[in-house]
Amino acid sequence: MQRNTLLTSILAGALLLATAVPAAELGDIAVRSYIGQPLAADIELVQLAPDEVSALQVRLAQQDVYRGANITMNPALGSLHMAVVRRDGRQFLHLTTTRAIEAEYVHLFLELSAAGRQDVRAATVWLQADPNPAPPPLPAPTAAQAALLARA
């Protein structure tokens, strides 16, 4: 009798673990933009189960997730667009914003849903300064300089 109870407990635990298998995981992040520019980045989606490949949905997590982590959501994420793309037999989450990111990093909390499962994944996108920034605009000529140029 004790053996059956132990076996039942083990099977129940295994079933719980099987149903707790997480949705896709986030892999490497390739950033294609710099500080002061709209975000352009790809995050590899790894450990996708066959039933998740076509059904995977990703969205930015709600504000309360950020609050629960004591992290302020970057305002540029209000313009975040995400798309799951397939490249070279691998899945990526392509991220873009229309607003510039004025920070060295952006914390992302992403809600991944597929096959009846829903999980939140965290990622930090690190940005660098543009190695080839645009030259600063030339100052407008003063009235005296404009008068001199007009005489020439």
Does some domain include residue 105?
A: yes
The alpha carbon of 4 is separated from its chain's Cα centroid by a whole number of angstroms, namely: 47
Does some domain include residue 13?
A: no
User: Which pLDDT does position 152 carry in this prediction?
Assistant: 64
Does some domain include residue 75?
A: yes
What are the pLDDT tens digits along the chain (152 aa)? 554 554 344 444 444 444 444 568 999 999 999 999 999 999 999 987 776 777 888 999 999 999 999 999 999 999 999 999 989 988 899 999 999 999 999 999 999 988 788 899 999 999 999 988 878 887 877 877 767 777 76
Write down the pTM of the prediction: 0.72
Does some domain include residue 146?
A: no
**How many other β-carbons are positioned within 10 Å of the β-carbon of residue 124?**
10
- Cβ atoms of 37 and 98 within 8 Å: the answer is no
Does some domain include residue 4?
A: no
Our count of domains for the chain comes to 1
Q: Which residue has the tokens 């709209």?
A: 38
Q: Counting Cβ atoms within 10 Å, is residue 63 exposed (0-12), middle (13-18) or buried (19+)?
A: exposed
User: Which pLDDT does position 120 carry in this prediction?
Assistant: 94
User: Which pLDDT does position 124 carry in this prediction?
Assistant: 97
User: Which pLDDT does position 147 carry in this prediction?
Assistant: 72
User: Which pLDDT does position 6 carry in this prediction?
Assistant: 42
CATH number at residue 109: 2.60.40.10
User: Which pLDDT does position 65 carry in this prediction?
Assistant: 95
User: Which pLDDT does position 40 carry in this prediction?
Assistant: 98
Does some domain include residue 135?
A: no
Residue among 110, 113, 94 nearest 55 (CA): 113
Does some domain include residue 86?
A: yes
Does some domain include residue 148?
A: no
SS3 of residue 117 by DSSP: strand
Cβ-proximal residues to 30 (8 Å cutoff; 6+ apart), any chain: 41, 42, 43
- Cβ atoms of 7 and 102 within 8 Å: the answer is no
DSSP 31-98: E---TTSEEEEEEEEES--HHHHTT-EEEEPPHHHHHHTT-PPPGGGGG-EEEEEEETTEEEEEEEEE
Torsions phi, psi of 111, nearest 5? -100, 115
Which residues constitute the domain of residue 51? Answer: 21-128
User: Which pLDDT does position 95 carry in this prediction?
Assistant: 98
